[in-house]
Amino acid sequence: MDHVLHLTCLVCGRTHAPEALAYVCPDHGNEGILDVAYDYDLIGTRISRATLARSPDPTIWRYKPLLPVEAYAPVPPLTVGGTPLYAAPRLAADIGLRHLWVKDEGREPSASFKDRASAIALVRAQAQGAAVITTASTGNAAAALAGLCASVGQENVIFVPAAAPPAKVAQLLAYGSRVVLVQGSYDQAFELCLEAAAEYGWYNRNTAFNPYMTEGKKTASYEICEQLGWNAPDAVFVGVGDGCIIGGLHKGFRDLLALGWIDHIPRLYGVQALGSSFLLQAWENNEDVLTKAPTPADTIADSISAGLPRDRIKAMAAVRDTGGAYLGVSDDEILAAIPALARGSGVFAEPAAAAAWAGCIKAAERALVSGAERVVVVSTGSGLKDVASARKAVAAIGPEPLTIAPDMDSLRTAFAASPSGAPAAR
């Protein structure tokens, strides 16, 4: 890995040789989050926009020279990355925009953005000959790690808060993971997982502890720019919990700017649930995220419920350094965004993913984005992950389904009685 120069501690700025550290800065304990620094000149001799244009590989591995893995490292067979970027003109028009795209991360193998990070964890763990990989998760990071491990028969242990949605836990069990349901919060499951990994010597995928997760997540920015013909968007919206995704998106854009493949970095807008708004509060009150006490975390958007965002340093820099903002949305706004996004673009999102659209609406109301700008909303996970929330969302706005006997008379009668009447005839 001659293209990785060093790891920089984001607390003290000290640099470390990549081989010297497994996870965090030794001087700063679990807070000592590291950033991976690259030799862009060297990388530029190995990959270019032209070589990418000829690459038949649709997955994140098309960007392998930009990732913290050896060129020869075997990669898992699942198709991670290569998710669609859909133009959404009707959604755009709803809020006075003209150029809007939805990046559908529900199309990842385990149905969320987390597959991008877990794929890197798996490749690195196997390169080190790890017997077991572990993570704590509110659900999606776990499912991502579980699915990728299943694809290559890698043993793994997953710590999940006992309150995680049943669909997410079922997914883990189907993939054959050893599942530990922790009777406590995500934050408690995270701490327990760190202790267990240290005690048993497992490879640790935990977000913002393992510095390489950002490096997987950054591939979404590469794809967005490549899908837009290397003309970077002006603004990107994404739901934020721990802050690893938004930090990863930022890293991806910074890589591309350093390589000279794009000419600007989009403004990054982090959308938080008002019930779990550590970063929003820190942003609005100009607080130091390292000393700020954890906030309560209670929201229907379980994937962005984090009282102490683990990747808060990178998450804050992503918004501050790009001229973006943190935005807060209520659970009702998040729920309303599920059918709005689905009806306006055909993308069915789980609550944390729909939060990005709710935040985009808010930004348009506040004139933070203008009609001429090119805007991307990242839908981070599939609506099928949390069907209970989707049902709640549609029940609130209708229309109700028509329940009828299996004959045309019943259908005609039901249509006649329904407020929206019969669908148009030819």
Ligand X SMILES: *Cc1c(COP(=O)(O)O)cnc(C)c1O
How far apart CA 230 and CA 256 sit, in angstroms, is 9
Task: Please pick, from the candidates 112, 204, 206, 210, the single residue that binds ligand X as defined by CB under 6 A.
Answer: 112
Cα dist from 385 to 303, 314, 328, 351, whole Å: 10, 27, 22, 9
Cα dist from 399 to 332, 391, 420, whole Å: 18, 12, 8
Q: Cβ 351 to ligand X, closest distance in Å?
A: 8
Q: Please state whether beta strands 203-204 and 133-136 pair in parallel, antiparallel, or not at all (unpaired).
A: parallel
| Helix spans in 82-207 (H) | 89-94, 115-127, 140-152, 166-175, 186-200
Q: Which lies closer to ligand X via its Cβ, residue 352 or residue 375?
A: 352
What single letter denotes the amino acid at residue 357? W
Close Cβ partners of 354 (under 8 Å, ≥ 6 residues apart): 301, 334, 335, 337, 338, 340, 341, 379, 383
Q: Which lies closer to Zn ion via its Cβ, residue 31 or residue 94?
A: 31
Q: Any contact of residue 381 with ligand X (CB under 6 A)?
A: yes
Q: Which lies closer to Zn ion via its Cβ, residue 32 or residue 252?
A: 32
Sign of CA dihedral 40, 45, 46, 50: positive
Q: Any contact of residue 25 with Zn ion (CB under 5 A)?
A: yes
What single letter denotes the amino acid at residue 409? D
| # of chain residues touching ligand X (CB under 6 A) | 19
What single letter denotes the amino acid at residue 107? R
Residue 353 touches which of Zn ion, ligand X, none (Cβ within 5-8 Å per kind)? ligand X
Question: Near Zn ion by CB under 5 A, which window of 28-36, 192-200, 278-286, 306-314?
Answer: 28-36
How far apart CA 169 and CA 145 sit, in angstroms, is 13
Q: Cβ 248 to ligand X, closest distance in Å?
A: 7
How far apart CA 89 and CA 77 sit, in angstroms, is 35
Q: Cβ 297 to ligand X, closest distance in Å?
A: 11
Q: Any contact of residue 152 with Zn ion (CB under 5 A)?
A: no
Q: Which lies closer to Zn ion via its Cβ, residue 25 or residue 193?
A: 25
Q: Cβ 191 to Zn ion, closest distance in Å?
A: 20
Question: Near ligand X by CB under 6 A, which window of 73-81, 107-115, 175-183, 358-366?
Answer: 107-115
Q: Cβ 321 to Zn ion, closest distance in Å?
A: 20
Close Cβ partners of 179 (under 8 Å, ≥ 6 residues apart): 158, 160, 169, 172, 173
Q: Cβ 241 to ligand X, closest distance in Å?
A: 3
Query: Measuring CA to CA, which residue among 252, 138, 145, 257 is closest to residue 204?
Result: 145
By residue count, the chain amounts to 426
Q: Any contact of residue 352 with ligand X (CB under 6 A)?
A: yes
Q: Which lies closer to Zn ion via its Cβ, residue 8 or residue 277?
A: 8
Beta bridge partners of 238: 270
Q: Cβ 219 to Zn ion, closest distance in Å?
A: 27
| Helix spans in 265-330 (H) | 278-285, 312-320
Question: Near ligand X by CB under 6 A, which window of 61-69, 74-82, 112-120, 316-324?
Answer: 112-120
Q: Any contact of residue 140 with ligand X (CB under 6 A)?
A: yes
Q: Any contact of residue 9 with Zn ion (CB under 5 A)?
A: yes
Q: Which lies closer to ligand X via its Cβ, residue 331 or residue 350?
A: 350
Q: Which lies closer to ligand X via its Cβ, residue 60 or residue 240?
A: 240
Residue 243 touches which of ligand X, Zn ion, none (Cβ within 5-8 Å per kind)? ligand X
* Residues making contact with ligand X (CB under 6 A): 112-114, 140, 239-246, 303-304, 350, 352-353, 380-381
* Residues making contact with Zn ion (CB under 5 A): 9, 11-12, 25, 27-28, 32
